[in-house]
Amino acid sequence: MRAMIAEMPKHWLEERERSEIGQRDEMWEGVLHMAPMPNTMHQDFAGQLYAYLRYRWAIPYGHRVFTEINLAHPDTPNWTADYRIPDLILLSADRFHIDRNSHFAGAPLVVVEVRSPGDESMEKLPFYANLGVPEVWIFERDSKELELFTFQDGHYEAIPPDANGWYRSSVSTVCFRQYQLGQIRVRIGPDDATAENLPTR
């Protein structure tokens, strides 16, 4: 169920700040967006994907991967008035300078969203485009189907899989293929030695 409240009562805001439920709240140009807490399937997949990318992509090549980091535009005077929180962020070494500890001010290499029913993953694309994020990966929570978007001429274009069903990230070399319903196969480039099925059964 979607709802719009013109002004959040102060005691509601204080209650959310005291509880874990407010950790995923976002501000969209001064408007509070309250995302529901992800279920165990969402958390399990995002956590396993993070672990894979950290040990197969980030550590070997000097990059970094983060979960649920506040992401803002570098020109925003007060970043807390307009930010998004992706499920995962891939940060290549040449982009470490956007790390402000409390938030990232600028475009990471890749933003990853796990789309749960009724969330706003697709609605975040214009914000990521305004930042100039080179790629966005959106996985369906239940099926694990992937939509890979690449930034071209000021907007995102969906990139289809190749003839063998592989989605290939041109900026990170990470590749994905639907293994079966609810599970993907992921590898680094063409290297089958790095291939794993996620989530594990």
The yes-or-no verdict on residue 195 having pLDDT over 80 is: yes
Confidence of residue 3 (pLDDT cuts 50, 70, 90): very low
Instruction: Determine the pLDDT at residue 191.
Output: 95
Confidence of residue 20 (pLDDT cuts 50, 70, 90): low
Contact 93, 108 (CB under 8 A): no
- Measured between alpha carbons, how far is 161 from 84 in angstroms, rounded to an integer? 28
Instruction: Determine the pLDDT at residue 161.
Output: 97
3-state secondary structure of 85: coil
Instruction: Determine the pLDDT at residue 30.
Output: 75
3-state secondary structure of 56: helix
Contact 184, 177 (CB under 8 A): yes
Instruction: Determine the pLDDT at residue 100.
Output: 96
Instruction: Determine the pLDDT at residue 2.
Output: 53
Percent of the chain with pLDDT over 90: 76
Dihedral (CA of 171, 197, 137, 90) sign: negative
The yes-or-no verdict on residue 4 having pLDDT over 50 is: no
Beta-carbon count within 10 A of 68 CB? 15
- Measured between alpha carbons, how far is 119 from 148 in angstroms, rounded to an integer? 18
Cα dihedral 157, 161, 167, 171, rounded to 10, equals: -40
CATH for the 36-198 domain, from 3.90.1570.10, 1.10.150.110, 3.10.129.10, 3.90.950.10:
3.90.1570.10
* Beta strands in the chain, from DSSP E residues, in sequence order: 26-28, 31-33, 64-67, 71-72, 83-84, 88-91, 104-105, 110-115, 135-140, 146-152, 155-159, 166-168, 174-180, 183-188, 191-198
Residues 45-90: tens digit of each pLDDT? 999 999 999 999 999 999 999 999 999 999 999 999 999 999 999 9
Beta-carbon count within 10 A of 100 CB? 14
Q: Hey, what are 1's tokens? A: 């169920």
Which letter does DSSP use for residue 118 in this model? T
Confidence of residue 6 (pLDDT cuts 50, 70, 90): very low
pTM of the model: 0.87
Residues 138-174: tens digit of each pLDDT? 999 999 999 999 999 999 999 999 999 999 999 999 9
118: amino acid identity, one letter = G
